[in-house]
Structure formats: C-alpha cells, structure tokens
Amino acid sequence: MRAVDGVTLSVRPGEMLGLVGESGCGKTVTALSILRLVPDPPGRIVGGTISFEGRDLVRLPEEEIRKIRGCAISMIFQEPMTSLNPVFTVGEQVAEGIRQHQKVSRREAWDQAVEVLKRVKISDPARRAREYPHQLSGGMRQRVMIAIALALRPKLLIADEPTTALDVTIQAQILELLLGLQEEMKMAVMLITHDLGVIAETADRVVVMYAGRVVEEASVKELFDNPLHPYTQGLMESLPRLETGKARRRLRAIPGLVPNLLELPTGCKFAPRCPKVVEQCWPTEPELREIRPGHSARCILAG
C-alpha cells in the first residue's frame, strides 16, 4: 500500500510552506519520511529523493541522517501531552538534544537549554527547566517541544499540526511564537495542518494533499482567491465565514469519506466525491499541471 505517492514539495529558506489535507491523506507520513522516521517495519521508503542542501536524505547512511535530525532539520509533533518523556525534566530533554549535536559540557548544555526555554517565552525558565512535563500545561509543553526543535537553530522546521491539540487562544500564541522565531532565525518551515484558517494566517505557499497525492499548489493568496481543484474548493466552502444578509449560507461539507488507500480508484482519486466529475476523470489519473505561473492543480477541468 502506498500511503504517499508522487509527492513533490519544495521549501526555500525563510519560507513558510503550508501542507493541508484531511486526516489520513498522508501529511504526517510525508513529514516523517523527510527525516526517515517512518517506523520500518511496517513503513518503507520505496523510491524518490529528498534533497536537502544538495544531499539526498533517502540515500544517506543512518549515522549521517541521525546527525541531521534535531540539528539541521527539526520536527514538532501534534500531541504536546504525549510527545515529551514523562520521566525526565523538560530542561534535561532540551539539553539532551544540544549535547547530542554539540561538544559542550552538561552544565553548558543546561544553561543553553534554559536560554532556549526563555526564547520560547516560558516564564521563569530556570525553575521550569527543573519541572517534569506533567507539571506543565498543554501550551507550555508545546513551547518546550518548540524549544527542543529550535535549540540548535535548524535550517528547516517541520511542524506537524503543532496547534491542533491546543485551545484556540493558545493556538494563536503558539503560531505567533513560531512566526516570530522563523523571522528571527530565517529558517524554512513546513507547517502541516488540516486547518485552512491557520494556513491563511501564516503560510507563504500552500500544498493541498489528497489520498497521498499533491492535488494543488499555489501561493496562499492565489489559492484562496482562485482555488482550481474541486477538492480545494470543497475545503474552502466548508470553512465558516463571517457574512451577513444575503451572502449568508449554510456550510457545505464534502460528501463521502477519505478513500481507503487499498481501494483507490484508477483515475482521479477524488472522482468519487467530486461534484464536477465527468467521464474522462475515471480511466487515468490526471497529472499535476501548472495552470498559471506558480499555481498547479491535478485536475483535467482546471484552467
């Protein structure tokens, strides 16, 4: 079974790339594959390249990719409640990554860790560092995760649904923090989410995924002004809007469910749920075509 197939992505230094799609569409697998963290078995990377600063991460020896993890490329996960090890203090968990990649003493690593905790705006970081994850709130823990990820100033940060598990008010704080730190460190960020609202506020460019494939890619403004793929259009229409009078309408959901990856249709994977489906959608899967400069879609009706 191919969870992710033919996905091509690129992200430049200082850019925030949004990766959007429903749960189960392959966003997380794509992200984990970049650092080769897909559990093997059962997962395996069967082909393709992941090019980072001119090196192909897929073919790197284990020892080399390990040196990149947490150093040049870092990751933040969805669930701050379970992503931190309950039996170590948060300071230890930040310092551990620092010591892994830099030749520093325990003491120096600890001081650096406290410094990083301060940068992610944890109040009284010296005291907090000595606390265990269960003593911190969800938002606090996600800040600690960000601290772990950013301790070594990575070139690329992969944030997998970093705000999904948090309260809305905390979400905004965390996103703001991420944006601020990105600005400051000039790093590339790949923000994975199912929330178009988050994308609209933060991303420069957006990639929409469906059933393990990229179905549309464009700059954030272009995508929201002019969505080309029926799936993207469906996602937009299912967003609540603040409108009054005649413009008010009921939310429209996309009919049907995310397809089972074992029973994918041969043609366009979205065809069974697509409101605009035509005869030609079924026999072969459309290519991802550039419809206008910088805006591509995988749909025969586009353009």
Partner 1 sequence: MGRYVLSRCRQVVPVLFGVTLITFLLIHVGLGDPVRAMMGQRSDPEIAARIRTEYGLDKPLWNQYTLYMGKLLVGDLGYSYRQRRPVSRVLAERLPATVRLAFAAMVVALLVGGIAGTIAAVRHNTLWDLLIMTLSLLGISTPVFWLGMMLILLFGVWLGWFPISGYGDGGFTHLVLPALTLGALQAGYIARMTRSALLEVLRQEYVQTARAKGLRERVVILKHALRNAILPVLTLAGIGLAELLAGAPLTEMVFAWPGLGRLLVSALGNRDIPVVLGATLLFALIYLGANFLVDLAYAAIDPRVELTKR
Question: Taking CB under 8 A as the rule, does residue 41 contact partner 1?
Answer: yes
How many CB atoms neighbour CB 197 within 10 A? 12
Of positions 3, 55, 60, 79, contacts partner 1 by CB under 8 A:
79
**Based on CB atoms, which residue is closest to partner 1, 114 or 148?**
148
> Cα(18)–Cα(2) distance, rounded to whole angstroms?
22
43 near partner 1, judged by CB under 8 A = no
Q: How far is the CB of 93 from partner 1 (least distance, A)?
A: 8
Question: With binding defined as CB under 8 A, does residue 210 bind partner 1?
Answer: no
Is the Cβ of residue 191 or residue 274 nearer to partner 1 in the bound state? Answer: 191
To partner 1, the closest distance from the beta carbon of 104 in angstroms equals: 15
Shorter beta-carbon distance to partner 1: residue 74 or 182: 74
Among 2, 6, 9, 96, binds partner 1 (CB under 8 A): 96
Report the residue from 1, 46, 87, 242 that binds partner 1 according to the rule CB under 8 A. Answer: 87
* Span of 93-101, 179-187, 249-257, 280-288 interacting with partner 1 by CB under 8 A: 93-101
292, amino acid identity: R
| Closer of 85 and 284 to partner 1 (Cβ) | 85
> Among residues 27, 30, 33, 69, which is the contact residue for partner 1, using CB under 8 A?
69
Residues 110-149 touching partner 1, rule: CB under 8 A, are 132, 134, 145, 148
Residues 48-67 within binding reach of partner 1 (CB under 8 A): 66-67
Q: What are phi and psi of 207, to 5 degrees?
A: -120, 125
Structure-token pair, residue 45:
């990377």
Strand 289-292 with 213-219, pairing: unpaired
Task: Establish if 47 lies at the interface with partner 1 (CB under 8 A).
Answer: no
Q: Does 155 bind partner 1 (CB under 8 A)?
A: no
